[in-house]
Amino acid sequence: MALLWFGGVVHAQAIEPMPFANHAQELRFQHLTQQLRCPMCQNETLADSNAPIARDLRNQIFQMMQQGRSDDEIKQYLVARYSNFVLYDPPLTSGTWLLWFGPLLILLGGAGAVLVVIRKRNRGAAVAPEASTDHAPTDHGDDW
């Protein structure tokens, strides 16, 4: 039981604190690391990941902030090294248009299919009563 508990303690590492100059710089750092994806992890931000590469990148971002680089410069540096994958909000390019508009196209296609099915059902329901009135039984009361 103790081995399991100690094993969990080893994996529960806190993200190391950094010596920020002020609270605004800390908020900027947190905002920036929430916008960037860990290159090694599955869909985790740099802020949330405990992977070694995420720690290294957080330190790199901190160093670049200390050097006076802007958020855009930091993002460009990371994109140059890890491609647009590192961005949670990738730019609209010819390679990402399907990523941006694919869900909308699927939604519109599904809505179109539903409309076609509804129209076919309505046409079928409108034709059925007309057919039944043409073959209505006649009153043959006089023939008896």
What's the CA gap between 44 and 41, in Å, rounded?
6
Taking residues 2-31, report their average pLDDT. Answer: 69
Residue 24: name the closest of 14, 32, 15 by CA.
Answer: 32
Residue 18: name the closest of 27, 10, 26, 28 by CA.
Answer: 26
Please name the amino acid found at residue 132: S
| Residue 135 confidence (pLDDT) | 55
How many helices (H) and strands (E) are present in the chain, helices listed first? 5, 0
Structure tokens at 130: 């007309």
131 or 23, which is more confident? 23
Residue 104: name the closest of 115, 95, 93, 112 by CA.
Answer: 112
Confidence of residue 36 (pLDDT cuts 50, 70, 90): very high
